[in-house]
Amino acid sequence: MTEGAAAPARGALLASLDGLRLDGATKGLPSGGGPIAFGDVGRQGWNLLAGDLPLPVLALRDAHMRNNLTVMRRFAEHHGVRLAPHGKTTCAPQLFRDQIDIGGAWGITVANVQQAWLAAGAGAENVLIANEVVGPAAVRALVELRHAHAGTRFMSLVDSIGAADQLIVHEGAHLRDGERFEVLLEIGFPGGRTGTRTLDQARAIVGHLMAHNTVLDLAGVETYEGLVGRPSPEETIAEVDRLLATTVEAFHMAAGMGAFGDRRAPILTAGGSVYFDRVVARFKEANLSPETMILLRGGSSIAYDHGAYRKHLQAMNARGGLAMPEGQVDPVAAFTPALELWASVLSLQDEGVAVLNIGMRDMPFDLGYPIPLRQVRDGREVADLEIDDGAFAITAANDQHAYMRFPAGADIAIGDTIVAGISHPCTAFDKWDVVLRIDEAFNVIGAIKTFF
């Protein structure tokens, strides 16, 4: 494929966003002055600290995001592995592009064909659908996507003969001569989600793929360790290690069966945003051929958070930290939480409780409520709310309201702004059609469009 042929597909989706018209119907934007072009949001001179926008607002601190992408890029380069971060975290093609351009991502991982369209439209050269593609409409859409983006490599998962047969049966006359579906064998664990459970099952699936190699092309082996959970951290890590060992064994088995053919770089992939340190350690000691591509897929690392993932990074530090070119690094210090919710104090009817104008339609709550960080009044920050102290805490929420507990003597007033960190990036982005990109002076420097 020539460079000229690639350009239209690479730029079409991102370029189309600039002309999108936004107005007061978009959460977080002012209603006066008429519609503005999406591409002009960063030119309005808005500043969150100055109170230029109606709250609530979800803001992405650009410098923090860039730092996180750079940390992951340096980690991957140091260990000789590749990155394909999971795009379902943001469903934002602009951020996919940042993950590629700033973060050095080899590709983008997605959860379904719709998200694969977004990744291809953002110019990702490699798109991994980390899921099974089943049903005639989805399989047909995957074929159409391949034809629309002929220069992009698409892969999906199979965890059973039945899943493989979905691609075989439903491709019909849609694949062109010589085309095949690239697939990865998915390894799971009992009680988990998808993924074949035993090596015997894996062997049967690989044999089936090889018997249908005019339609199916085995590109590698995949697992996802992020769902593993046991009563103690030690038991969880032991179970993660067992899953990774099974995945390596399945990879060696497939290679021994000749299932990768003459493929130069078969893929071995795992690694969410919690245990990627363990994945690299286990895979690097697995006696793999030098050509094997180890692929990490953590998506939440673009933003991390002040809640659940902060605790996961603390656990990673307790395991030995992040092995970087300069030595072992504390990941809590290396990564900087990038998402903030800005909300207003609406009411102070009950002693020690402030009602905020954010609710379950604005904020993640599946892994904990947002964490109050700072208090703003009259255009300036007046208090650091000490996230590790717990004296300030959101304890409950409704659709459009949150209840913040505060200690006796705290100077909280109606109209104050509370800036909160979040817990779980994946369920923060999906609450917002438009996320504002801000600099370190809290100037709005752009907008990010999500496609959930």
CA distances (Å), origin 113, targets 27, 186, 236, 415, 421: 27, 17, 32, 44, 31
Q: Is it the case that residue 251 has pLDDT exceeding 60?
A: yes
Question: Which option is the CATH number for 86-298: 3.40.50.970, 3.30.365.10, 3.30.1300.30, 3.20.20.10?
Answer: 3.20.20.10
Residue 176 has pLDDT above 90, yes or no: no
Is residue 293 over pLDDT 50? yes
Q: Band the pLDDT of 173: cuts 50, 70, 90.
A: low
In whole angstroms, give the CA distance from residue 407 to residue 390.
10
Q: What pLDDT, on the 0 to 100 scale, is given for residue 284?
A: 94
Give the pLDDT score at 414. 98
Is residue 3 predicted with pLDDT exceeding 60? Answer: no
Give me the pLDDT at residue 172, please.
Answer: 61
Asked whether residue 300 carries a pLDDT value surpassing 60, the answer given is yes
Q: Does pLDDT of 386 surpass 80?
A: no
pLDDT at 10: 45
pLDDT value, residue 11: 60
Across the range 376-382, mean pLDDT stands at 93
Which of 76-80, 157-161, 172-176, 368-372 is predicted with the least confidence, judged by mean pLDDT?
Answer: 172-176
Q: Provide the whole-model pTM.
A: 0.94
Mean pLDDT of 260-277: 94
pLDDT tens digit sequence for 215-234: 999 999 999 999 998 999 99
Buried/exposed code over 120-144 (b: 16+ C-beta within 10 A; e: otherwise): bbbbbbbbbbbbbbbeeebbebbbe
In this prediction, residue 212 carries a pLDDT of 96
Q: What is the mean pLDDT of residues 421-438?
A: 97
The domain ranges of the chain are: 1-62+337-452, 86-298
Residue-wise pLDDT for 5-46, tens only, equals 333 344 678 989 999 999 999 999 998 878 999 999 999 999
- Mean of the per-residue pLDDT values of the chain: 94
| Per-residue confidence (pLDDT) for residue 4, from 0 to 100 | 37
Report pLDDT for 390.
Answer: 84
Q: What is the mean pLDDT of residues 302-321?
A: 96
* In the predicted structure, residue 175 carries a pLDDT above the cut 90: no
Q: What architecture (CATH level 2) is domain 1-62+337-452?
A: Beta Barrel (2.40)
| The pLDDT of residue 43 | 97
Residue 389's pLDDT band (boundaries 50, 70, 90)?
confident
pLDDT at 375 exceeding the cut of 90: yes
